[in-house]
Amino acid sequence: MGTITRSFANNIGSSGILSASAVTNATVEDVTSFSSAASPATLVLISTQTASSSATISFTSGLNSTYDEYIFKFINIHPATDGEEFQFNMSTDSGSNYNVTKTSTHFQAYHLENGTGAGTLYQTSHDLAQSTAFQTLSNDLGNDNDQSTSGTLIIFNPASTTYVKHFIATMNNTQEADYQTNYFIAGYGNTTSAVNAIQFKFSSGNIDDGIIKLYGVKKS
């Protein structure tokens, strides 16, 4: 029995698990190559945009057939104007128009900062029914210095020319009236054209500050 084989054999426990001490410089120094292993699904950062009194933030590149799933992450999006809605829309013409027809749902869980109220509710004023309007992600967002919204938006297979474009969003929001809200939004862009650009904005006023990152989910 060779040195490497003995080292591994002596470090296999009764459950058949190899202990960490079995893998040392000595056990691998004579190995010339390792077999390739399948990589798990991972996020690939495509681009990052930072708002600075920005009227809109648009992603006009990076959405294509490279990945089947794209994820936007919002980090401390802060409005210039109190009580506005953070929204998005999709484009099929590289950003010339953001007017994809959408149908969606929108509900929330909330808890007042002073503890006097909490609950869940469906927001009929923020869902869409075959509308080209911008979809609300967070609403009534406060613009106090310590208030912002953060969350995630997932777009599935935007480059498809066969299927509609499903999306799911979860947002964490600090309301202007000082209460915590967790929003859950889902829907679809009712188009079989490829979606190749997405724009974010507030219903009124600028995006004072915040970071938006676009990731692709690596195909397995």
- Sorted by sequence, the CB contacts under 8 Å of residue 131 that are 6+ apart come out as 101, 102, 103
Percent of the chain at pLDDT exceeding 90:
80
Q: Is the pLDDT of residue 13 over 90?
A: no
Q: What are the pLDDT digits (tens) for 95-111?
A: 999 999 999 999 999 99
- CA–CA distance, 91 with 155 (Å, rounded to integer): 13
Say if residues 197 and 94 touch (Cβ distance below 8 Å).
yes
**Same domain flag for 143 and 171:** yes
Better pLDDT: 13 or 38: 13
> Six-digit token pair at 164?
């509609």
pLDDT one-digit tens code per residue, 156-184: 999 999 999 999 999 999 999 999 999 99
Check pLDDT > 90 for residue 32.
no
Per the structure, the complete domain to which residue 10 belongs is given by 1-32
* Strand, helix or coil for residue 28: helix
Q: 24-28, 134-138, 161-165: lowest mean pLDDT where?
A: 24-28
Which tokens hold the place of 60? Answer: 């006009």
Per-residue pLDDT band for 219 (boundaries 50, 70, 90) equals confident
Contacts of 181 (CB under 8 A, 6+ apart): 108, 109, 110, 138, 140, 172, 173, 174, 175
Same domain assignment for residues 18 and 60: no
3 state SS of 10: helix
Segment 21-48 mean pLDDT? 69
pLDDT at 134 over 60: yes
38 belongs to a structural domain: no
Average pLDDT over residues 111-135: 96
How would residue 1 be classed by pLDDT, with cut points 50, 70 and 90? low
204, pLDDT greater than 80: yes
Whether residues 3 and 53 fall in one domain? no
- Position 37 in a domain: no
In a domain, 145, yes or no: yes
Closest CA to 125 of 111, 140, 143, 106: 106
Burial of 161 (0-12, 13-18, 19+ CB in 10 A): exposed
